[in-house]
Amino acid sequence: MSFPIVPFIVFAVSQVGTPGPANMAILATSARFGFRDTLPFTLGVILGKQAIIWPLGFGLMQLAQAAPLVFQAMTVVSALYICYLAWRVARMSLTTDTSVDRVPGFANGLIVHPMNPKAWAMITASFTFVPDTMAQLEATAWVAGVLLACQLVLQPMWGVAGEIITRTIKGTRYERGLFIGLAVLTVASVVYAIWGINR
């Protein structure tokens, strides 16, 4: 049986393109530092998801079932890290003085998805599309390839949106509310993802 590419693309677009900790981080950093300067961070976020897909494809979920407490501990640590990112987002401003803070780089982006409960939940759900008869390597390659393609298209759009927001509200009374709102959405997405994982 072949991989159900069309249904999976629909699923992938709905997951990759919607608000979550990674997209909120891209939006916020691009709003703060500009789309071009945060491209390395965005690329790190995109490639960091591969660090989850391949281990999951080759049996990490079996380990999670064998040692559920370990998996729950990973979920808690991940959630705390994303909440820390949300706290940093809430404290951001659109000031042009870049000496106040440094632009997050490629390495910072790489760890966003491995520490993102939404990413773990989404990738776990992705493997439910895999036919039982498909080889492990082929199935993982399909999931990894489709998600990567969707990310390369959709996640930079969040960066562009961040820069547009900067031009629109910089220096206005809405500036502080933007970053607080993004932080709240980030925490809410983590809570929702953990709820989905533990249902």
Q: What is the pLDDT along the chain (199 residues), one digit of tens a residue?
A: 688 888 889 888 887 887 778 888 898 888 888 899 999 999 999 999 999 899 888 875 566 567 677 666 766 776 676 677 677 767 766 554 444 467 889 999 999 888 877 788 788 778 878 887 888 888 899 999 999 999 999 999 999 988 888 778 777 777 778 778 777 776 776 676 566 555 5
Total of domains in the chain: 1
105 and 192 in contact (C-beta within 8 Å)?
A: no
38 and 128 in contact (C-beta within 8 Å)?
A: no
How much is the pLDDT for 10?
87
Q: Which residue has the tokens 């939006």?
A: 27
How much is the pLDDT for 98?
46
Structure token digits, residue 46 = 């995109």
Q: Which long-range contacts (CB under 8 A, 24 or more apart) does 58-66 make?
A: 58/136, 58/140, 61/124, 61/127
How much is the pLDDT for 40?
96
* Spatial distance between the Cα atoms of 190 and 111, rounded to a whole number of angstroms: 15
**C-alpha separations of 73 from 83, 142, 172, 187 in Å:** 15, 29, 41, 18
29 and 41 in contact (C-beta within 8 Å)?
A: yes
* Spatial distance between the Cα atoms of 143 and 128, rounded to a whole number of angstroms: 10
Q: Mention every residue, 6+ apart, whose C-beta is less than 8 A from residue 184.
A: 86
How much is the pLDDT for 190?
62
How much is the pLDDT for 101?
66
How much is the pLDDT for 128?
78
State which residues form the domain around 57. 5-198
